A and B are shown apart, each in its own frame.
Chain A
Amino acid sequence: MNGPRTGGILAILVFATLCGCYGTSTSRRSTGVLDFLYPEGSAAAPAEDVALTLPVRVGMAFAPRGTMYNDYPEASKVELLERIGAAFEKKSFIESVEILPSHYLQETGGYDNLDQLRSAFGIDLVVLLSYDQTQLTKSNNWSITYLTVVGAYLVEGDENTTLTLLDAVVVDIPSRALLFRAAGTSKIEDQTTAAGAARSMQETSQRGFDDATEKLIEQLDLALAEFSGQALQGTVRGMGTPEITINSEDGVVIDGNYGGGGAFGLAEGGFVALLVALGVLGRRRDD
Protein backbone atom coordinates (compact mmCIF):
# COMPACT_ATOMS: atom_id res chain seq x y z
CA MET A 1 0.00 0.00 0.00
CA ASN A 2 1.13 3.53 -0.77
CA GLY A 3 2.71 5.12 2.36
CA PRO A 4 1.32 8.68 2.10
CA ARG A 5 -2.10 7.39 1.01
CA THR A 6 -2.26 5.04 3.99
CA GLY A 7 -1.19 7.86 6.26
CA GLY A 8 -3.95 10.10 4.83
CA ILE A 9 -6.67 7.50 5.33
CA LEU A 10 -5.43 6.89 8.87
CA ALA A 11 -5.48 10.61 9.63
CA ILE A 12 -9.07 10.89 8.35
CA LEU A 13 -10.10 7.90 10.47
CA VAL A 14 -8.47 9.33 13.58
CA PHE A 15 -10.04 12.75 12.93
CA ALA A 16 -13.47 11.21 12.45
CA THR A 17 -13.08 9.23 15.66
CA LEU A 18 -11.98 12.30 17.57
CA CYS A 19 -15.02 14.23 16.31
CA GLY A 20 -17.19 11.42 17.58
CA CYS A 21 -15.40 11.51 20.95
CA TYR A 22 -15.54 15.25 21.49
CA GLY A 23 -19.29 15.70 21.24
CA THR A 24 -22.13 17.06 23.32
CA SER A 25 -25.68 15.89 23.52
CA THR A 26 -28.75 17.26 25.22
CA SER A 27 -31.91 15.56 26.30
CA ARG A 28 -34.90 17.44 27.69
CA ARG A 29 -38.30 16.65 29.20
CA SER A 30 -40.89 19.10 30.45
CA THR A 31 -44.53 19.89 31.13
CA GLY A 32 -46.31 23.22 31.60
CA VAL A 33 -49.15 24.30 33.85
CA LEU A 34 -50.22 27.37 31.90
CA ASP A 35 -50.70 25.36 28.71
CA PHE A 36 -53.11 23.14 30.63
CA LEU A 37 -54.97 25.92 32.47
CA TYR A 38 -55.23 28.23 29.48
CA PRO A 39 -55.30 26.16 26.29
CA GLU A 40 -54.91 28.00 23.03
CA GLY A 41 -57.97 30.06 22.25
CA SER A 42 -59.27 30.27 25.79
CA ALA A 43 -59.75 33.68 27.41
CA ALA A 44 -58.13 34.35 30.78
CA ALA A 45 -61.04 35.38 33.00
CA PRO A 46 -60.11 37.29 36.20
CA ALA A 47 -60.15 35.25 39.39
CA GLU A 48 -62.99 35.75 41.87
CA ASP A 49 -62.81 36.22 45.62
CA VAL A 50 -61.74 33.13 47.53
CA ALA A 51 -63.73 31.47 50.32
CA LEU A 52 -61.91 28.54 51.92
CA THR A 53 -63.48 26.21 54.46
CA LEU A 54 -61.00 24.43 56.69
CA PRO A 55 -60.00 21.66 56.65
CA VAL A 56 -59.54 21.53 52.87
CA ARG A 57 -59.46 18.53 50.54
CA VAL A 58 -56.53 18.78 48.15
CA GLY A 59 -55.94 17.09 44.82
CA MET A 60 -52.41 16.73 43.41
CA ALA A 61 -51.48 16.04 39.81
CA PHE A 62 -48.83 16.64 37.22
CA ALA A 63 -49.87 18.94 34.42
CA PRO A 64 -50.28 16.82 31.28
CA ARG A 65 -47.43 17.14 28.81
CA GLY A 66 -48.09 19.47 25.94
CA THR A 67 -45.09 18.61 23.78
CA MET A 68 -43.56 15.45 22.37
CA TYR A 69 -40.72 15.43 24.84
CA ASN A 70 -39.31 12.44 26.60
CA ASP A 71 -41.80 11.95 29.43
CA TYR A 72 -41.09 11.12 33.09
CA PRO A 73 -42.62 7.67 33.80
CA GLU A 74 -46.13 7.79 35.25
CA ALA A 75 -45.27 5.44 38.14
CA SER A 76 -42.41 7.73 39.14
CA LYS A 77 -44.73 10.73 38.96
CA VAL A 78 -47.22 9.09 41.31
CA GLU A 79 -44.43 8.20 43.73
CA LEU A 80 -43.21 11.78 43.71
CA LEU A 81 -46.74 13.11 44.29
CA GLU A 82 -47.19 10.72 47.20
CA ARG A 83 -43.97 12.00 48.77
CA ILE A 84 -45.10 15.59 48.56
CA GLY A 85 -48.61 14.68 49.68
CA ALA A 86 -47.28 12.80 52.72
CA ALA A 87 -45.35 15.88 53.82
CA PHE A 88 -48.55 17.96 54.00
CA GLU A 89 -51.45 15.65 54.72
CA LYS A 90 -50.52 15.58 58.42
CA LYS A 91 -51.33 19.30 58.70
CA SER A 92 -54.51 19.85 60.68
CA PHE A 93 -56.02 22.20 58.11
CA ILE A 94 -55.80 19.55 55.37
CA GLU A 95 -58.51 16.93 55.51
CA SER A 96 -57.19 14.72 52.75
CA VAL A 97 -54.78 14.61 49.81
CA GLU A 98 -55.94 12.87 46.64
CA ILE A 99 -53.29 11.81 44.12
CA LEU A 100 -54.62 12.20 40.58
CA PRO A 101 -52.80 10.29 37.80
CA SER A 102 -51.91 12.38 34.75
CA HIS A 103 -54.41 10.67 32.48
CA TYR A 104 -57.25 12.18 34.55
CA LEU A 105 -56.23 15.53 33.12
CA GLN A 106 -56.80 16.31 29.45
CA GLU A 107 -54.02 18.19 27.66
CA THR A 108 -56.26 21.16 26.90
CA GLY A 109 -58.64 20.51 29.78
CA GLY A 110 -58.32 23.87 31.51
CA TYR A 111 -60.52 24.89 34.42
CA ASP A 112 -63.46 22.89 33.06
CA ASN A 113 -61.38 19.75 33.56
CA LEU A 114 -60.62 20.90 37.12
CA ASP A 115 -64.36 21.39 37.75
CA GLN A 116 -64.93 17.78 36.66
CA LEU A 117 -62.24 16.56 39.03
CA ARG A 118 -63.74 18.66 41.82
CA SER A 119 -67.12 16.98 41.31
CA ALA A 120 -65.65 13.52 40.98
CA PHE A 121 -63.22 13.61 43.92
CA GLY A 122 -64.71 16.30 46.17
CA ILE A 123 -61.55 18.36 46.21
CA ASP A 124 -61.43 22.08 47.02
CA LEU A 125 -57.91 22.91 45.93
CA VAL A 126 -55.62 21.39 43.35
CA VAL A 127 -51.82 21.36 43.36
CA LEU A 128 -50.54 21.24 39.79
CA LEU A 129 -46.94 20.22 39.29
CA SER A 130 -44.79 20.80 36.27
CA TYR A 131 -41.18 19.92 35.62
CA ASP A 132 -38.32 20.68 33.32
CA GLN A 133 -35.27 18.46 33.24
CA THR A 134 -32.33 18.92 30.90
CA GLN A 135 -29.43 16.49 30.72
CA LEU A 136 -26.24 17.61 29.02
CA THR A 137 -23.45 15.24 28.13
CA LYS A 138 -20.03 16.20 26.85
CA SER A 139 -16.76 14.38 26.44
CA ASN A 140 -13.59 15.36 28.22
CA ASN A 141 -9.97 14.82 27.16
CA TRP A 142 -9.89 11.31 28.60
CA SER A 143 -12.49 10.20 26.09
CA ILE A 144 -9.68 9.76 23.58
CA THR A 145 -9.01 6.47 25.35
CA TYR A 146 -12.34 5.26 23.92
CA LEU A 147 -10.31 4.52 20.80
CA THR A 148 -9.16 1.52 22.73
CA VAL A 149 -12.14 -0.72 23.50
CA VAL A 150 -11.04 -1.10 27.12
CA GLY A 151 -11.02 2.65 27.63
CA ALA A 152 -14.75 2.86 26.95
CA TYR A 153 -15.37 0.56 29.93
CA LEU A 154 -12.78 1.85 32.37
CA VAL A 155 -12.15 5.55 31.74
CA GLU A 156 -14.70 8.18 32.78
CA GLY A 157 -14.55 10.29 29.68
CA ASP A 158 -18.13 11.57 29.72
CA GLU A 159 -19.31 14.50 31.86
CA ASN A 160 -23.02 14.75 32.53
CA THR A 161 -24.98 17.64 33.99
CA THR A 162 -28.60 17.16 35.01
CA LEU A 163 -30.66 20.29 35.69
CA THR A 164 -34.09 19.76 37.19
CA LEU A 165 -36.87 22.22 38.00
CA LEU A 166 -40.04 21.11 39.77
CA ASP A 167 -42.76 23.74 40.10
CA ALA A 168 -46.02 23.56 42.04
CA VAL A 169 -48.98 25.95 41.85
CA VAL A 170 -51.93 25.77 44.23
CA VAL A 171 -55.23 26.71 42.65
CA ASP A 172 -58.62 27.31 44.27
CA ILE A 173 -60.94 25.65 41.78
CA PRO A 174 -64.24 27.54 42.34
CA SER A 175 -62.66 31.00 42.17
CA ARG A 176 -59.94 30.12 39.60
CA ALA A 177 -57.48 31.94 41.88
CA LEU A 178 -53.85 30.95 42.07
CA LEU A 179 -53.19 30.97 45.81
CA PHE A 180 -49.44 30.46 45.87
CA ARG A 181 -46.62 28.65 44.13
CA ALA A 182 -43.20 27.22 44.92
CA ALA A 183 -40.33 25.59 43.07
CA GLY A 184 -37.52 23.16 43.81
CA THR A 185 -34.37 22.94 41.70
CA SER A 186 -31.42 20.61 41.51
CA LYS A 187 -28.13 20.41 39.63
CA ILE A 188 -26.17 17.18 39.52
CA GLU A 189 -22.79 16.76 37.87
CA ASP A 190 -21.40 13.34 37.22
CA GLN A 191 -18.63 11.58 35.31
CA THR A 192 -19.09 8.23 33.68
CA THR A 193 -17.60 5.80 31.23
CA ALA A 194 -18.99 5.48 27.73
CA ALA A 195 -20.35 2.03 28.54
CA GLY A 196 -22.10 3.24 31.68
CA ALA A 197 -23.48 6.46 30.19
CA ALA A 198 -27.07 5.33 29.69
CA ARG A 199 -27.42 3.91 33.22
CA SER A 200 -25.74 6.97 34.72
CA MET A 201 -28.14 9.30 32.91
CA GLN A 202 -31.08 7.35 34.23
CA GLU A 203 -29.77 7.42 37.80
CA THR A 204 -28.94 11.13 37.78
CA SER A 205 -32.33 11.85 36.26
CA GLN A 206 -34.04 10.11 39.18
CA ARG A 207 -31.69 11.76 41.72
CA GLY A 208 -32.42 15.11 40.13
CA PHE A 209 -36.13 14.66 40.66
CA ASP A 210 -35.57 13.40 44.23
CA ASP A 211 -33.41 16.39 45.18
CA ALA A 212 -35.75 18.87 43.52
CA THR A 213 -38.68 17.28 45.39
CA GLU A 214 -36.99 17.79 48.77
CA LYS A 215 -36.34 21.44 47.96
CA LEU A 216 -39.89 21.84 46.67
CA ILE A 217 -41.33 20.55 49.95
CA GLU A 218 -39.25 23.12 51.90
CA GLN A 219 -40.29 25.93 49.57
CA LEU A 220 -43.95 24.90 49.71
CA ASP A 221 -43.81 25.16 53.51
CA LEU A 222 -42.43 28.69 53.24
CA ALA A 223 -44.91 29.66 50.55
CA LEU A 224 -47.73 28.33 52.75
CA ALA A 225 -46.50 30.47 55.67
CA GLU A 226 -46.34 33.51 53.40
CA PHE A 227 -49.84 32.84 52.11
CA SER A 228 -51.07 32.47 55.68
CA GLY A 229 -49.52 35.81 56.63
CA GLN A 230 -50.93 37.47 53.53
CA ALA A 231 -54.41 36.06 54.16
CA LEU A 232 -54.34 37.85 57.53
CA GLN A 233 -54.73 41.08 55.59
CA GLY A 234 -57.68 39.71 53.66
CA THR A 235 -56.25 39.27 50.16
CA VAL A 236 -54.58 36.44 48.28
CA ARG A 237 -51.44 38.33 47.27
CA GLY A 238 -51.90 41.97 48.28
CA MET A 239 -53.89 44.94 47.03
CA GLY A 240 -55.60 44.37 43.71
CA THR A 241 -55.73 40.57 44.11
CA PRO A 242 -58.86 38.60 45.09
CA GLU A 243 -60.09 38.90 48.66
CA ILE A 244 -59.94 35.81 50.80
CA THR A 245 -62.11 34.57 53.63
CA ILE A 246 -61.26 31.48 55.63
CA ASN A 247 -64.07 29.74 57.50
CA SER A 248 -64.19 26.86 59.90
CA GLU A 249 -66.44 23.86 59.30
CA ASP A 250 -69.09 25.53 61.48
CA GLY A 251 -69.11 28.55 59.24
CA VAL A 252 -67.24 30.78 61.70
CA VAL A 253 -64.95 33.23 59.96
CA ILE A 254 -61.39 32.42 60.99
CA ASP A 255 -59.64 34.96 58.90
CA GLY A 256 -60.12 37.48 56.21
CA ASN A 257 -60.41 41.04 57.24
CA TYR A 258 -60.56 40.09 60.87
CA GLY A 259 -59.49 37.09 62.81
CA GLY A 260 -59.17 37.49 66.52
CA GLY A 261 -56.54 39.80 67.81
CA GLY A 262 -55.17 41.71 70.71
CA ALA A 263 -55.72 45.28 69.64
CA PHE A 264 -55.50 48.39 71.77
CA GLY A 265 -58.09 51.00 70.93
CA LEU A 266 -58.93 54.59 71.78
CA ALA A 267 -59.84 53.86 75.41
CA GLU A 268 -56.69 51.86 76.06
CA GLY A 269 -54.64 54.50 74.30
CA GLY A 270 -56.16 57.07 76.64
CA PHE A 271 -55.15 55.03 79.70
CA VAL A 272 -51.57 54.73 78.41
CA ALA A 273 -51.38 58.46 77.67
CA LEU A 274 -52.63 59.21 81.20
CA LEU A 275 -49.94 57.07 82.84
CA VAL A 276 -47.19 58.48 80.64
CA ALA A 277 -48.34 62.03 81.43
CA LEU A 278 -48.38 61.18 85.16
CA GLY A 279 -44.86 59.87 84.87
CA VAL A 280 -43.63 63.00 83.12
CA LEU A 281 -45.37 65.33 85.56
CA GLY A 282 -44.12 63.36 88.56
CA ARG A 283 -40.54 63.59 87.26
CA ARG A 284 -40.80 67.37 86.69
CA ARG A 285 -42.03 67.80 90.21
CA ASP A 286 -39.06 65.82 91.56
CA ASP A 287 -36.72 68.02 89.51
Chain B
Amino acid sequence: MTAAFVAGGVVASVSPVAAGLCLYDRAAVADGDGWRLLSAHLVHSSGRMAAWDLGAIALLGWKLEHGSRTLLVVLLGVSALGVGLTVHHLLPELARFHGASGVASALFAAVAVDMARADHPPRVRFVARLALLAFLGKTVWEVGSERAVFAGVEVVPVAHLAGAVIGLAVALLGRARVNRVS
Protein backbone atom coordinates (compact mmCIF):
# COMPACT_ATOMS: atom_id res chain seq x y z
CA MET B 1 0.00 0.00 0.00
CA THR B 2 2.84 2.34 0.92
CA ALA B 3 4.66 1.44 -2.28
CA ALA B 4 1.52 2.15 -4.31
CA PHE B 5 1.12 5.60 -2.76
CA VAL B 6 4.78 6.47 -3.31
CA ALA B 7 4.64 5.17 -6.90
CA GLY B 8 1.54 7.26 -7.54
CA GLY B 9 3.33 10.24 -6.07
CA VAL B 10 6.30 9.77 -8.37
CA VAL B 11 4.10 9.50 -11.47
CA ALA B 12 2.00 12.54 -10.54
CA SER B 13 5.14 14.55 -9.88
CA VAL B 14 7.03 13.58 -13.03
CA SER B 15 4.21 13.80 -15.58
CA PRO B 16 2.87 17.33 -16.25
CA VAL B 17 -0.45 15.91 -17.48
CA ALA B 18 -0.88 13.81 -14.32
CA ALA B 19 0.17 16.78 -12.18
CA GLY B 20 -2.31 19.04 -13.94
CA LEU B 21 -5.13 16.54 -13.48
CA CYS B 22 -4.31 15.78 -9.84
CA LEU B 23 -3.28 19.01 -8.15
CA TYR B 24 -5.78 20.90 -6.02
CA ASP B 25 -7.09 23.87 -7.97
CA ARG B 26 -9.90 25.76 -6.25
CA ALA B 27 -11.42 26.82 -9.58
CA ALA B 28 -11.36 23.25 -10.91
CA VAL B 29 -12.91 21.88 -7.69
CA ALA B 30 -15.64 24.52 -8.02
CA ASP B 31 -16.15 23.28 -11.60
CA GLY B 32 -16.78 19.75 -10.27
CA ASP B 33 -13.33 18.10 -10.05
CA GLY B 34 -13.85 16.90 -6.46
CA TRP B 35 -11.23 14.14 -6.75
CA ARG B 36 -8.55 16.81 -6.51
CA LEU B 37 -9.13 17.03 -2.75
CA LEU B 38 -7.58 13.55 -2.56
CA SER B 39 -5.19 13.50 -5.49
CA ALA B 40 -3.42 16.78 -4.64
CA HIS B 41 -1.27 14.90 -2.11
CA LEU B 42 0.38 12.95 -4.92
CA VAL B 43 1.72 16.01 -6.76
CA HIS B 44 5.10 17.60 -6.05
CA SER B 45 6.56 20.52 -7.94
CA SER B 46 10.23 19.64 -7.46
CA GLY B 47 12.40 16.60 -6.97
CA ARG B 48 13.51 17.93 -3.59
CA MET B 49 9.94 18.34 -2.36
CA ALA B 50 9.03 14.86 -3.60
CA ALA B 51 12.08 13.33 -1.95
CA TRP B 52 11.26 14.80 1.47
CA ASP B 53 7.52 14.09 1.41
CA LEU B 54 7.49 10.69 -0.27
CA GLY B 55 10.60 9.61 1.61
CA ALA B 56 8.84 10.35 4.93
CA ILE B 57 5.73 8.48 3.77
CA ALA B 58 7.82 5.50 2.64
CA LEU B 59 9.50 5.18 6.07
CA LEU B 60 6.42 5.84 8.20
CA GLY B 61 4.10 3.82 5.98
CA TRP B 62 6.44 0.84 6.03
CA LYS B 63 6.46 0.96 9.84
CA LEU B 64 2.66 1.12 10.07
CA GLU B 65 2.04 -1.49 7.37
CA HIS B 66 4.00 -4.04 9.41
CA GLY B 67 1.61 -3.52 12.31
CA SER B 68 -1.73 -3.17 10.52
CA ARG B 69 -2.41 -2.65 6.81
CA THR B 70 -6.03 -1.78 7.61
CA LEU B 71 -4.94 1.07 9.84
CA LEU B 72 -2.61 2.36 7.13
CA VAL B 73 -5.32 2.27 4.46
CA VAL B 74 -7.77 4.08 6.74
CA LEU B 75 -5.13 6.64 7.68
CA LEU B 76 -4.16 7.36 4.09
CA GLY B 77 -7.76 7.78 2.98
CA VAL B 78 -9.05 9.77 5.94
CA SER B 79 -6.03 12.04 6.20
CA ALA B 80 -5.95 12.76 2.46
CA LEU B 81 -9.61 13.72 2.46
CA GLY B 82 -9.41 15.52 5.80
CA VAL B 83 -6.41 17.65 4.86
CA GLY B 84 -7.96 18.42 1.46
CA LEU B 85 -11.23 19.56 3.04
CA THR B 86 -9.39 21.58 5.68
CA VAL B 87 -7.35 23.46 3.08
CA HIS B 88 -10.47 23.97 0.93
CA HIS B 89 -12.63 25.40 3.71
CA LEU B 90 -10.17 27.08 6.08
CA LEU B 91 -7.92 28.71 3.49
CA PRO B 92 -10.24 30.34 0.92
CA GLU B 93 -7.40 32.52 -0.38
CA LEU B 94 -5.39 29.46 -1.40
CA ALA B 95 -6.02 28.86 -5.09
CA ARG B 96 -3.73 25.86 -5.53
CA PHE B 97 -2.29 23.20 -3.27
CA HIS B 98 -0.10 20.15 -3.70
CA GLY B 99 2.21 17.91 -1.67
CA ALA B 100 1.94 14.94 0.67
CA SER B 101 3.22 16.40 3.92
CA GLY B 102 -0.30 16.59 5.41
CA VAL B 103 -0.64 12.84 4.92
CA ALA B 104 2.92 12.34 6.16
CA SER B 105 2.00 14.29 9.33
CA ALA B 106 -0.93 11.92 9.90
CA LEU B 107 1.35 8.90 9.53
CA PHE B 108 3.88 10.49 11.90
CA ALA B 109 1.25 10.99 14.60
CA ALA B 110 -0.01 7.42 14.14
CA VAL B 111 3.51 5.94 14.41
CA ALA B 112 4.17 8.02 17.54
CA VAL B 113 0.91 6.76 19.13
CA ASP B 114 1.87 3.21 18.20
CA MET B 115 5.29 3.57 19.82
CA ALA B 116 3.76 5.03 22.98
CA ARG B 117 1.96 1.71 23.60
CA ALA B 118 2.43 -0.02 26.92
CA ASP B 119 4.23 -3.00 25.35
CA HIS B 120 7.17 -0.80 24.33
CA PRO B 121 10.12 -0.04 26.67
CA PRO B 122 9.53 3.02 28.90
CA ARG B 123 12.26 5.06 27.24
CA VAL B 124 10.80 4.48 23.77
CA ARG B 125 7.32 5.44 25.01
CA PHE B 126 8.64 8.61 26.60
CA VAL B 127 10.60 9.76 23.52
CA ALA B 128 7.66 8.94 21.20
CA ARG B 129 5.27 11.03 23.31
CA LEU B 130 7.79 13.86 23.49
CA ALA B 131 8.34 13.76 19.72
CA LEU B 132 4.60 13.88 19.09
CA LEU B 133 4.12 16.83 21.47
CA ALA B 134 7.06 18.65 19.92
CA PHE B 135 5.71 18.05 16.40
CA LEU B 136 2.25 19.29 17.33
CA GLY B 137 3.74 22.30 19.14
CA LYS B 138 5.88 23.16 16.13
CA THR B 139 2.96 23.05 13.70
CA VAL B 140 0.74 25.15 16.01
CA TRP B 141 3.53 27.72 16.25
CA GLU B 142 3.98 27.73 12.43
CA VAL B 143 0.27 28.30 11.85
CA GLY B 144 0.51 31.45 13.89
CA SER B 145 3.74 32.77 12.39
CA GLU B 146 5.05 33.97 8.98
CA ARG B 147 4.82 31.64 6.00
CA ALA B 148 7.94 29.63 5.24
CA VAL B 149 9.31 28.60 1.88
CA PHE B 150 10.98 25.22 1.56
CA ALA B 151 12.08 23.36 -1.57
CA GLY B 152 10.67 26.24 -3.65
CA VAL B 153 7.21 25.83 -2.16
CA GLU B 154 5.33 28.15 0.17
CA VAL B 155 4.59 25.77 3.04
CA VAL B 156 1.03 25.55 4.35
CA PRO B 157 1.36 24.66 8.08
CA VAL B 158 -2.40 24.18 8.44
CA ALA B 159 -1.99 21.03 6.31
CA HIS B 160 0.58 19.65 8.76
CA LEU B 161 -1.58 20.43 11.79
CA ALA B 162 -4.72 18.97 10.23
CA GLY B 163 -2.84 15.83 9.22
CA ALA B 164 -1.30 15.38 12.66
CA VAL B 165 -4.64 15.82 14.46
CA ILE B 166 -6.38 13.39 12.08
CA GLY B 167 -3.56 10.86 12.45
CA LEU B 168 -3.70 11.12 16.24
CA ALA B 169 -7.49 10.67 16.28
CA VAL B 170 -7.48 7.68 13.91
CA ALA B 171 -4.62 5.97 15.76
CA LEU B 172 -6.23 6.46 19.20
CA LEU B 173 -9.62 5.27 17.95
CA GLY B 174 -7.98 2.26 16.36
CA ARG B 175 -6.15 1.42 19.58
CA ALA B 176 -9.33 1.80 21.64
CA ARG B 177 -11.11 -0.58 19.28
CA VAL B 178 -8.32 -3.17 19.54
CA ASN B 179 -8.35 -2.89 23.37
CA ARG B 180 -12.14 -3.38 23.42
CA VAL B 181 -11.92 -6.47 21.22
CA SER B 182 -9.08 -8.00 23.24
Contact = CB atoms under 8 A, between A and B. Distances in A.
A3 interface: no
30 contacts: A225-B21, A229-B21, A233-B16, A233-B46, A252-B93, A258-B153, A259-B98, A260-B94, A260-B97, A260-B98, A260-B153, A261-B45, A261-B49, A262-B53, A263-B99, A264-B104, A265-B52, A265-B148, A265-B150, A265-B155, A268-B108, A269-B55, A271-B135, A272-B59, A272-B108, A274-B131, A275-B60, A276-B59, A276-B60, A278-B115
A232 B17 CA distance: 11
B20 A263 contact: no
B96 A254 contact: yes
A262 B156 contact: yes
A117 interface: no
Nearest to B48: A263
B134 interface: yes
B27 A224 contact: no
A92 interface: yes
Interface in A223-258: 224-230, 232-234, 248, 252, 254-255, 257-258
Interface in A85-131: 90-93
Interface of A: 54, 90-93, 222, 224-230, 232-234, 248, 252, 254-255, 257-265, 267-269, 271-272, 274-276, 278-279, 281-282, 285
Contacts of A267: 138
Given A229-B20, A259-B96, A281-B124, 13 more contacts: A91-B27, A91-B28, A92-B26, A92-B28, A229-B23, A232-B45, A259-B154, A260-B91, A261-B156, A262-B159, A268-B56, A268-B135, A271-B135
Contacts of B112: 275
Interface residues of B, number: 68
Contacts of B115: 275, 278-279, 282
Q: Secondary structure of the B side of the interface?
A: helix
Interface of B: 15-23, 25-28, 30-31, 41, 43-46, 49, 52-53, 55-56, 59-60, 63, 83, 91, 93-105, 108, 111-112, 115, 120-121, 124, 127-128, 131, 134-135, 138, 148-156, 159-160, 163
A228 B108 contact: no
Q: Which of B91, B95, B135 is most buried by chain A, counting CB atoms within 10 A of its CB?
A: B95
Nearest to B149: A258
A269 B56 CA distance: 7
Contact of A262 (B102, B131, B148, B149): B102
B23 A262 contact: no
A261 B19 contact: no
Contacts of A92: 26-28, 30-31
